[in-house]
Structure 1
Amino acid sequence: MGADDRARHPRGLTTLVLTELWERFSLYGMAAILVTFLAASPASEGMGLSAGTAEAVEGVYMAMISLLALPGGWLADRVLGARRAVLYGGLVIMAGHTAMAIPGNLGVWPGLVLITVGTGLLKPNISAMVGRLYAAGDEQRRDAGYSLFYMGINIGGTLSPLLVGYLGEEVSWHAGFGAAAIGMAIGLIQYAAGGRHFPDAEDRPCQPLTAGERRRALRATLGTLSAVALLFAVCGLCGALDIDAITFGLTIVAVIVPAAYLALMLRSPKITAQERARLKSYVWLFAAATVFWMIYDQFGSELNLFAAEKTDRHILGWEVPASWMQCLPSFFVILLAPLFAAFWTRRGRSMPTPLKFGLALILVGASFFVMAAASSIASGGVKVAVFWLIGTYLLQVTGELFLSPVGLSVTTRLAPKAFANQMMGVWFLAAATGDAIGGQLPRIGQSVLSQSNNFLWQGALALVVGGALIRYTRKLSAVMDEQTATTQEVTVAAA
């Protein structure tokens, strides 16, 4: 293999990067206007929900996307194969955005369900397909390929609020949702056209179900669906079936599933005593990550509403759409990631994982202290300058770059051998739990606290958890048998 061959990436990478870019364009674009649409009055074609309910819907919606990545990966491995899983997932996502684009709002709830299911099917499998484009041992090009892939995510996340947000806020909500559907359609067209560049193995499930397993899986699926339908029917007859009850129920699911999953792993006879000790230390990191995402992912709900209602967004006499503020996290990732890549290379290897997690929590906690101050100023009826939000997002993204790539790496390193393939899904469950809880906090807090105090106590919680991790860094690192940061942390940080 010549030097040019070693430097050249597989042709399928371009197809996957562009597919993910357009999928994130559709997801982040729609999410940028979702909470404001849900809270907008029916007179302005919104859903007319209270702000707290709208935020809870956004939270559980994002949580279910992460939660459904587990069955999405299973379906690809056992039934569909990765290529069809991504294709079918994209089609379901596009159908969901299309349903939401229909005037009259009748397609909103079916659309959200379709987008959630489709994303759970597409997201884990397209990420796995990137890694399988490269031969075993070709780690340097694989790492570089993932960097390009993650850059596509952030480019899509930066651009989508500009177009989808503008159409949603300035033309009509449904025009914005329609633009998200068109974005997903573009991604699917080029995915289908570039399918010839994928390995043939992607057409087949890697561990296909046997006939007996297929029958058992079908019975389990039908039983689960029947139980859910019965639960909905009983709640409906009792008058307890409303949006608030559904979001509370899904939040409980998002908390129970990860807790049960980790408990089953800890009790499994398949893991050694050393693996069990490491897994116990991982539980603390998982809990810390849950607190981090609980705060961080409110940028699409609580901070989005703050931008719309309490922030002065006028520039040269024109009011910038509130959804454009959603560009900032992805933009800051693109801006800061190269600096973090250099930092990890030079100094990051001497920093234990619990210390990095602790710093991430302190930064995200500090961001909510900034928001507490901004909210206190705005409580007097004066809109605050946009720099409050810019500063908040900058602190949060800096924290994300301390935690997110490191979390991927430590999950791989601490995974028990018997659960090596499942642990990455467990890491994403931390975001699901955090999103679900974070979506409920504004509604709960509003009943007893001011918005400023609600920001304040969440920021204080993050500082306490971050301080505890830093305090016990040496003990946790010893249990984890941690010596240095891994190459994966450096690479993903560069994404």
Structure 2
Amino acid sequence: MKEQDQPQKEFFGQPRGLATLFSTEVWERFSYYGMRAILLFYMYFAISKGGLGIDQGTAASIMAIYGSLVYMAGVVGGWLSDRVWGSRKTVFIGGVFIMFGHIALSLPFGQAALYTSIALIVIGTGLLKPNVSDMVGDLYSEGDRRRDAGFNIFVFGINLGAAIAPWAVPFVANLFGHSGNMNFHAGFALAAIGMFIGLVQYYLEGKKYLSDSSLHPKDPIDQQSLKNVVRGSVIGVIAFAVVLGIMAAFHALNIDNIITLITVIAVALPIVYFVIMLRSQKVTKVERSRVRAYIPLFIAAAIFWAIEESGSVVLALFAENRTVLHIGSWNFAASNFQTLNPLFIMILTPLFVWLWNHWKKQPSAPGKFAAGLIFAGLSYVWMALPGILDGTQGRVSPFWLVGSWFIVEIGEMLISPIGLSVTTKLAPKAFRSQMMSMWFLADAAGQAINSQIVKYYSSATEVPYFLAIGAVSIIFGIILVFFVKKIHTLMEGVD
């Protein structure tokens, strides 16, 4: 019997390859979110406590710009997969970069290891993250009715790894600590081990269960075009190096100014993309109208992600400095709160799937975006309440953080899956791949702006900080409500 005639193994009624990608993503998210759960504390804790002693505001800015760089790198990773390497090779190379990034952090080499790790993990996650999802789609034929269920299982894997990590990594860091201090390097080592396990099973099972098409680029680039891209990339790197050199000449080459430079790039990139699409002769009049409709949705998404992604930055600081870290006799770590994001996503997703399937007169995509922004703003207004009620000097109930995460995740249910869907619908035919990159750049821009804001957060500024940012999100959401019909008109037939 030929191999293709043999019955294929299945995974919960899905192609067996889904189990391979499911496990790969579980371990990748385990390593990434495990690292992020303790990284902020590692950066700003005093050296005597096992940290690097970086200023708290600077550490918070680094965390935010780190997330921004990851999403910008995803644009490059998607291009390399489509044009050069193919998704399977790109994902493996990305996983290797990630593993070595965690290994770098597990070694006691101070800030040099920190920045080396950030560079490696940004490159690795940019290569791996967008292409694993693409490979899931390749497991199904165009009319396969199992596709949606398969993606639901895959997304569950993403959140499963992200939910377990904030407990496992801090546990190991505390287990190998001494004198009441965490051994951060032990925690980062566990993240490296997690990625190693994911790589091994991906490599071994991938040869058996993943599509052969994943070995080849979908739109291979010709040699001349590749040379042009390499030449342009080299010019870009040189230009960036020249800017850094000028900064050094004026004694301005420091981490804060580098973060500012990256922020400018993260905000400028989507603007350039929009200008190119709106001016392109390849874009029809109807498609140009749809791109205009996408602009306010993009801005809304950037504002939302700035708040949602603050969980590993501002809310992490609140957890460490302002929260009672026990409920009765049960003690826990500030980093454990990072599990709330994926946990609430897993709880809320089936509820919202049911809602969208049964709500006949549900709001349009712009209406859902507006509501999502209002919920995001309310999650910050909620966080201002303990400071208003009891002052900002003592510690408060952990349920304030639980409530804030629950509120913002309602907002994510209204924006994240809807945004992915509407992005594909509004994309001009000639810019379909680039338009998906725009969705990732919304997150990158939001976190980049966040990197400039988070440095102003402290217990002393807590109440005005939460109220001001929450108000911006709510006000923009309300403004969006009044423009829902206008935006829907610009969408030209897209629901």
Whether TM exceeds 0.5 here: the answer is yes
Distance 1:24 1:349 in 2: 36
The structure 1 residue matched to 2:37, chosen from 32, 36, 41, is: 32
What SS does structure 1 have at the residue aligned with 2:146? helix
Work out whether 1:69 is the aligned partner of 2:74: yes
The structure 1 residue matched to 2:482, chosen from 454, 464, 471, is: 471
Change over 3 Å in CA distance of 1:305–1:5 after alignment to 2: closer
What SS does structure 2 have at the residue aligned with 1:312? coil
Amino acid at match of 1:252: V
The structure 2 residue matched to 1:128, chosen from 125, 131, 134, is: 134
The gaps in structure 1 that reach 5 residues or longer are 485-495
Distance 2:211 2:187 in 1: 36
Matching residue of 1:351: 363
Amino acid at match of 1:478: T
The structure 2 residue matched to 1:417, chosen from 429, 433, 440, is: 429
Amino acid at match of 2:25: E
Distance 1:439 1:306 in 2: 17
Judge which range, 449-458 or 273-282, deviates more.
449-458
Q: Which digits, 9 at most, give the CA deviation of each residue in 1:205-250, with x for residues without a partner?
A: 2222222122222222222222222332332232211111111111
Amino acid at match of 1:387: F
Matching residue of 1:368: 380
Amino acid at match of 2:185: H
Distance 1:483 1:318 in 2: 51
Matching residue of 1:454: 465
Scaled by the length of structure 2, the TM-score of the pair is 0.93
Matching residue of 1:96: 101
The structure 2 residue matched to 1:162, chosen from 167, 184, 199, is: 167
Distance 1:6 1:21 in 2: 15
The structure 1 residue matched to 2:229, chosen from 196, 210, 217, is: 217
CA contact (8 A) 2:425 2:494 kept: no
Q: Which digits, 9 at most, give the CA deviation of each residue in 1:70-117, with x for residues without a partner?
A: 111111112111111000000000000000100132411101110001
CA contact (8 A) 1:55 1:440 kept: no
Matching residue of 1:434: 446
Matching residue of 1:118: 124
Distance 2:494 2:360 in 1: 12
The structure 2 residue matched to 1:193, chosen from 173, 187, 204, is: 204
CA displacement at 1:445 relative to structure 2: 5.8
Work out whether 1:295 is the aligned partner of 2:307: yes
Change over 3 Å in CA distance of 1:389–1:7 after alignment to 2: closer
What SS does structure 2 have at the residue aligned with 1:350? coil
CA contact (8 A) 1:20 1:153 kept: yes
CA displacement at 1:337 relative to structure 2: 1.0
Distance 1:6 1:114 in 2: 33
CA contact (8 A) 2:289 2:492 kept: no
Change over 3 Å in CA distance of 1:230–1:296 after alignment to 2: same
Amino acid at match of 1:265: M
CA-atom RMSD in angstroms: 2.1
Work out whether 1:203 is the aligned partner of 2:215: yes
CA displacement at 1:328 relative to structure 2: 0.5
Distance 1:391 1:280 in 2: 35
The gaps in structure 2 that reach 5 residues or longer are 178-182
Matching residue of 2:180: none
What SS does structure 1 have at the residue aligned with 2:14? coil
Distance 2:261 2:457 in 1: 18
CA contact (8 A) 2:426 2:494 kept: no
Distance 2:20 2:143 in 1: 23
CA displacement at 1:15 relative to structure 2: 0.3
Change over 3 Å in CA distance of 1:375–1:51 after alignment to 2: farther
Amino acid at match of 2:289: A
Change over 3 Å in CA distance of 1:220–1:237 after alignment to 2: same
Work out whether 1:80 is the aligned partner of 2:85: yes
Q: Which digits, 9 at most, give the CA deviation of each residue in 1:34-88, with x for residues without a partner?
A: 1111111111221212221111101110001001111111111121111110000
Scaled by the length of structure 1, the TM-score of the pair is 0.93
Distance 1:150 1:279 in 2: 28
CA contact (8 A) 1:412 1:420 kept: yes
